[in-house]
Amino acid sequence: MSKEISNVSKQSIKKYLDAGVRFDGRKLDEYRDISVEFGVSENAESSVKVKMGETEVIAGIKMDVGEPYADSQNKGNLITTLELLPMSSGRHESGPPKIEAIEMGRVIDRGLRESGFIDFEKLCIKEGEKVWNVYVDIFSFNDAGGMLDAAFLAAVIAMKTAKLPRYDEKEEVVKFGELTDTNFPVTDLTPVTITGYKVGGHIIIDPTVEEEEMSEARLSFGLAEVEKEIMISSCQKGKDTILTSEEVGKIIDLSENKYKELFGVIDKAIKGIDKK
Amino acid sequence: MDQEEKTVKKKREIVVPGEIIVSGDEFLPGDGTERDGKDIVSKRYGLSDESGRLVKIIPLSGVFTARRGNVIIGRVSDLTFNGWLVDLGVASNGFLPLAECPRYINQNDMAEHFSIDDLMVAKISGVKGRGIDLTIKGRGLGKVEKGIIINVNSNKVPRIIGKEGSMISLIKEKSGCDITVGQNGLIWIKGNKIEDEILAKNAIGYIEEKPFIEGLTDKMEGWFKEEKK
């Protein structure tokens, strides 16, 4: 009904967290059930829908050929956009993306870019002249909290399953709709983003809308496993309350523990599509 | 609820706006329907219900329409010099005047009774063009304290309450919680233990998912048995 949450809900969320449970019966460090669906959009090079509890988000990859940037003559371009559609929640309005959506898109972009997940040099067709432009478009279908982690999962799975479209070098056009057998060039790293929220002195992950609304601070980490060690490649702090060093340590430990779980989700989804 | 029993024999059918439900001068248009020549036409998406000559729609979706006498749960959105503005989740605002409180409240102490973002259980005393008038004079009405609030589709409220309150008393009995159901879809669950509250919440979630089953109350009892294991 309302955008703001009531005083009673605030009190009881805190009371619940003190007792170590959440409104939906989960533990503080538990994700909701995650499911993955492929082929949401016919025209995209790859499209994925991720459901995390009631949160639903789709990500699509679309590619075309363009010019490289001056500082990366032999590398492809990555353009990530995220839109929080008004139909997904009463909190979002139509119009140009608001600060929340811009921030989330940038965090996802940074997580993908800095983890070394994409092999940018393989996206180069002719150095200094032609490279692939990669568009990652993410849309929220239902925002029931924890959007960032779900959106990042969708983006990673979409990239892992994308095929390059055919490029006709003579005519210099991309033949959309004709996919080659070449996989989108990714390395064997698998990045995930895990966001810890501070709510009433407790650290939780995968919040519901109420918990997200009343959280005092949040901290996102982009992680990937490199040579059997989990490395942090990016991070983002949100909201205006400070986090103590213990709390930051707690979120790091938590994300390290949770990495395996999200990795499992990605792995299972990709193995599932290979079988078909 | 009595009407429902009479019409059990007639099958309810899902209708969409503009659909002709029945045709004939002998029928009377009820809630959610209108007369168009000889036909009774649906104005809403829902189940058609014929009880005798009266044809009405049991809506399946759409916003809550405020009626006099409804008990609702609302959130205080503003304080004025003589009362509180209450957000009910509908287009028009609710208003609780100072005079409708059970005891005398000084104008300067209003925030102590209800401040912004507090929830209240109130009864609708009248619906006018400019807004909805509320009262908290009566049993079970007043401020919402402790417990949890959940939000359901307001069209499913009758299912959650059940025939003559059978469903809600079953949930109350099995979970041991105090439950207040607002007609606008907000439900207040207050129990002694956190586990009880979660049980009651899950029970309501179960009903919300399966609203079209016959004999839902019996199924609910089975559900509780399984949950208790």
Rounded Cα gap, residues A247 and A200, in angstroms: 12
Other C-beta atoms lying within 10 Å of the C-beta of residue B57 = 22
Q: Do residues A254 and A29 lie in contact, with contact meaning Cβ atoms separated by under 8 Å?
A: yes
Interacting residues of B29 by C-beta distance below 8 A, sequence separation 6+: B35, B40, B55
- Chain B contact for A245, CB < 8 A? no
The SS3 assignment for A165 reads strand
Q: Which residues of A touch B154 (CB under 8 A)?
A: none
Which stretches within A55-123 are classed as H helix?
Answer: 99-114
How many domains does chain A fold into? 1
Residue A227: which domain range? 24-275
- Chain B contact for A25, CB < 8 A? yes
| Cβ pair A7:B89 closer than 8 A | no
Q: Determine the residue of chain B that is closest to A23 in CA distance.
A: B198
**What is the pLDDT tens value at each position of chain B, 229 positions in all?**
445 544 444 677 889 999 998 888 888 888 888 898 888 999 989 888 888 888 888 888 888 888 899 999 999 999 999 899 999 988 888 999 999 888 888 888 888 899 998 999 999 999 988 889 999 999 889 999 888 898 888 888 888 888 888 889 999 998 899 999 999 999 999 999 888 898 999 899 888 887 666 778 888 888 888 887 6
The SS3 assignment for A217 reads strand
The residues of chain B that CATH labels 3.30.1370.10 are 148-228
Any domain includes A13:
no
Q: Do residues A198 and A247 lie in contact, with contact meaning Cβ atoms separated by under 8 Å?
A: yes
**A-B interface: how many C-beta pairs under 8 angstroms?**
50
In CATH, what number does B71-143 get?
Answer: 2.40.50.140
End-to-end CA separation in angstroms for chain A: 42
Q: Which DSSP helix (H) or strand (E) runs through B111?
A: helix B110-113
Which of B148, B175, B188 is the best mutation test for A, with the most CBs of A within 10 A?
B148
Q: B104 to chain A, minimum CA–CA distance in Å?
A: 24
Interacting residues of A117 by C-beta distance below 8 A, sequence separation 6+: A156, A159, A186, A187, A189, A190, A191, A224
Rounded Cα gap, residues A19 and A13, in angstroms: 10
Give the β-pairing of A34-38 and B178-181. unpaired
Secondary structure tally for chain B: helices H, strands E: 6, 16
| Cβ pair A23:B118 closer than 8 A | no
The CATH number of the domain holding residue A79 is 3.30.230.70
| Cβ pair A8:B118 closer than 8 A | yes
Interacting residues of B38 by C-beta distance below 8 A, sequence separation 6+: B23, B24, B25
Q: Rounded to an integer, what is the distance from CA A30 to the centroid of its chain?
A: 18
Any domain includes A16:
no
Q: B164 to chain A, minimum CA–CA distance in Å?
A: 27
Q: Which of residues 145-164 of B touch A (CB under 8 A)?
A: 145-149, 151
Domain B2-59 bears CATH identifier 1.10.10.10: no
- Chain A contact for B113, CB < 8 A? no
Q: B119 to chain A, minimum CA–CA distance in Å?
A: 7
Beta bridge partners, A81, equal A137
Q: Determine the residue of chain B that is closest to A3 in CA distance.
A: B89
The residues of chain B that CATH labels 2.40.50.100 are 2-59
The 3-state secondary structure of A181-212 reads EEECCECCCCCEEEEEEEECCEEEECCCHHHH
Q: Do residues A192 and A152 lie in contact, with contact meaning Cβ atoms separated by under 8 Å?
A: yes
Rounded Cα gap, residues A53 and A76, in angstroms: 35
Name the average pLDDT for chain A.
90
Any domain includes A124:
yes
The residues of chain B that CATH labels 2.40.50.140 are 71-143
Q: B195 to chain A, minimum CA–CA distance in Å?
A: 8
DSSP state of B154: G
Question: Which of left, alpha, beta for A225 (phi over 0: left; psi -120 to 50: alpha)?
Answer: beta
Would you state the pLDDT for residue A276?
Answer: 64
| Cβ pair B186:A1 closer than 8 A | yes
Give the β-pairing of B94-97 and B83-87. antiparallel
ipTM rounded to 2 decimals: 0.72
Neighbour-count burial for B29-46, b at 16+ CB within 10 Å, e otherwise: bbebbeeeeebbbbbbbb
Q: A60 to chain B, minimum CA–CA distance in Å?
A: 30
- Chain B contact for A9, CB < 8 A? yes
Give residue-wise pLDDT tens across range B53-101: 888 888 888 888 888 999 999 999 999 998 999 999 888 889 999 998 8
Using the structure block, give the residue that is written with the tokens 């509890």. Answer: A53
What CATH number matches the domain at B148-228, 3.30.1370.10, 3.40.50.300, 3.40.50.720, 2.60.40.1180?
Answer: 3.30.1370.10
